[in-house]
């Protein structure tokens, strides 16, 4: 393969050959009883991954599409919502809501910190009109984990408020009990821990959120959740689905089910730990106070982070994730979603050691 890079970014990921090669298989027609059986299995397995009895549907979209689907289905213009902003993905909830004419209250969290759930409680007590609280399980821009369980406990007491969680990078790699923790909408996507190519956005929706959707006046044609749920009930999709991706998803979900969600997560945690130990030996510190699994954000005190990213890519064929804006020279992130094992960590750490050697010269 020409100039293959080792992907240790935050998606897309390294993918095992058996799943990858399914993408090159002949297409199948989806409106058949056989394909409905495949979809039935996919839908059931998604409920297992999301730990919910409620529908989990998918869109031919990336994670941001699923975020917009969540907003446009459950809210009305001029509603008021609270969003937790600890980085660019938390901030995105605010931007999407504002675009759709929703009034937003921002709970700003310093970069690298995790929100204190009692701050959510205080804001809810002070603002009886909050229709929804938006949070991010793993804030991929900083690598910080959010205590979704505690926030869910708080929101459960409010009949007129729903809880919406972005689990794009946190699903599977963090524990998330959608129903038990009182999360009404969870969104995610295919190119992180699901470790298949980008292009599928997922959304689970509770009965309470469906009631909100029945009253909501924002409009969306492609993402209309009632179309997806009606088709989900008959093991179908409203529009043409990305069949190759679904075949890859089917195998991935089978694999997770066979290994068990907890074992799958433990395996990822082990690799995350190896990366962090190795980076520590090289003199780096993990930045987040409560770090997310599989997302390691590093603040560079002695090096230009953008040079590290460039040398790793150009000389050693290892892609790690840069940061944008004012963090460009200060912060890099390493991801270990997908087929990253001990061998890949070794390659990554050796490349990093050589990169630092070069920068020290
Ligand atoms: N939310 C989080 C937490 C993410 O990590 C990402 C992708 N990095 C997104 C949302 C956006 O997903 P996408 O790029 O698939 O639209």
Please indicate whether residue 76, judged by its CB atom, sits closer than 6 Å to ligand 1.
no
| Rounded distance from Cα 31 to ligand 1 centre (Å) | 30
Give me the percent of the chain exceeding a pLDDT of 90.
Answer: 98
Average pLDDT in the 286-295 region?
Answer: 97
Nearest to 139 by CA among 104, 117, 169: 169
Strand partners, 133: 82, 163
Please indicate whether residue 63, judged by its CB atom, sits closer than 6 Å to ligand 1.
yes
Average pLDDT over the chain, rounded to an integer = 97
Q: How far is CA 132 from CA 102, 128, 184, 286, in A?
A: 11, 11, 10, 32
Domains located in the chain, CATH noted: 6-13+260-359 (3.90.1150.10), 18-258 (3.40.640.10)
**pLDDT tens, residue by residue, 47-98:** 999 999 999 999 999 999 999 999 999 999 999 999 999 999 999 999 999 9
Q: Of how many residues is the chain composed?
A: 361
| Rounded distance from Cα 168 to ligand 1 centre (Å) | 6
Q: What is the pLDDT of residue 1?
A: 62
Three-state SS for 103-145 is EEEEEECCCCCCCCHHHHHHHHHHCCCEEEEEEECEECCCCEE
| Rounded distance from Cα 93 to ligand 1 centre (Å) | 11
Please indicate whether residue 166, judged by its CB atom, sits closer than 6 Å to ligand 1.
yes
Separation of alpha carbons 30 and 297, rounded Å: 41
Q: What is the pLDDT of residue 16?
A: 97
Question: Closest ligand 1 atom, CA of 64?
Answer: 16
Q: How far is CA 270 from CA 7, 194, 276, in A?
A: 18, 17, 10
Please indicate whether residue 10, judged by its CB atom, sits closer than 6 Å to ligand 1.
yes
**pLDDT tens, residue by residue, 98-142:** 999 999 999 999 999 999 999 999 999 999 999 999 999 999 999
> In the block, which residue shows the tokens 């991935």?
252
Separation of alpha carbons 216 and 208, rounded Å: 12
DSSP 25: S
| Rounded distance from Cα 231 to ligand 1 centre (Å) | 26
2 pLDDT band, cuts 50/70/90, is low
pTM, 2 dp: 0.98
232 pLDDT band, cuts 50/70/90, is very high
Nearest to 138 by CA among 248, 265, 261: 265
Is pLDDT of 302 > 70? yes
Q: Note whether 200 and 249 are within 8 A (CB).
A: yes
Count of alpha carbons within 13 angstroms of residue 338, beta-carbon side: 25
**Widest CA span in the chain:** 65
**pLDDT tens, residue by residue, 168-213:** 999 999 999 999 999 999 999 999 999 999 999 999 999 999 999 9
Is pLDDT of 355 > 70? yes
Question: Closest ligand 1 atom, CA of 198?
Answer: 15
- 179 exposed, middle or buried (CB, 10 Å; 0-12, 13-18, 19+)? middle
Give me the percent of the chain exceeding a pLDDT of 70.
Answer: 99
């Amino acid at each position: 393969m020409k100039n293959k890079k080792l992907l240790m970014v935050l998606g897309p990921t390294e993918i095992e050959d058996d799943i990858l090669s399914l993408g090159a298989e002949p297409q199948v027609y989806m409106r058949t009883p056989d394909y409905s059986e495949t979809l039935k299995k996919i839908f059931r397995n998604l409920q297992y991954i999301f730990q919910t009895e409620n529908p989990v549907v998918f869109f031919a979209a990336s994670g941001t599409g699923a975020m917009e689907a969540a907003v446009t289905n459950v809210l009305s213009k001029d509603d008021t919502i609270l969003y937790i902003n600890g980085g660019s993905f938390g901030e995105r909830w605010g931007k999407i809501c504002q675009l759709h004419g929703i009034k937003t209250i921002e709970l700003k969290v310093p970069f690298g910190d995790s929100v204190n759930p009692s701050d959510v409680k205080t804001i809810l007590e002070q603002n009886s009109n909050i229709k929804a609280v938006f949070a991010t399980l793993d804030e991929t821009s900083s690598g910080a984990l959010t205590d979704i369980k505690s926030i869910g406990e708080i929101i459960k007491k409010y009949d007129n408020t729903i809880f919406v969680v972005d689990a794009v990078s946190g699903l599977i790699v963090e524990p998330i009990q959608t129903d038990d923790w009182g999360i009404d909408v969870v969104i995610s996507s295919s190119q992180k821990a699901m470790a298949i190519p980008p292009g599928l956005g997922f959304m689970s929706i509770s009965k309470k959120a469906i009631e909100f959707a029945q009253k909501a006046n924002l409009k969306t044609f492609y993402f209309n959740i009632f179309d997806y749920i009606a088709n989900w009930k008959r093991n179908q999709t409203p529009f043409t689905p990305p069949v190759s991706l679904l075949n890859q998803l089917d195998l991935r979900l089978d694999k997770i089910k066979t290994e068990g969600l907890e074992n799958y997560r433990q395996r990822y945690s082990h690799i995350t730990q190896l990366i962090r130990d190795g980076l520590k030996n090289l003199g780096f510190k993990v930045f987040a106070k409560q770090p997310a699994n599989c997302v390691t954000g590093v603040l560079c005190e002695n090096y230009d982070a953008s040079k590290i990213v460039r040398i790793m890519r150009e000389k050693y064929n290892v892609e790690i994730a840069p940061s944008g804006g004012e963090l460009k020279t200060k912060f890099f992130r390493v991801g270990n979603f997908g087929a990253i094992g001990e061998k890949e960590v070794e390659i990554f750490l050796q490349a990093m050691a050589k990169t630092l050697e070069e920068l020290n010269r």
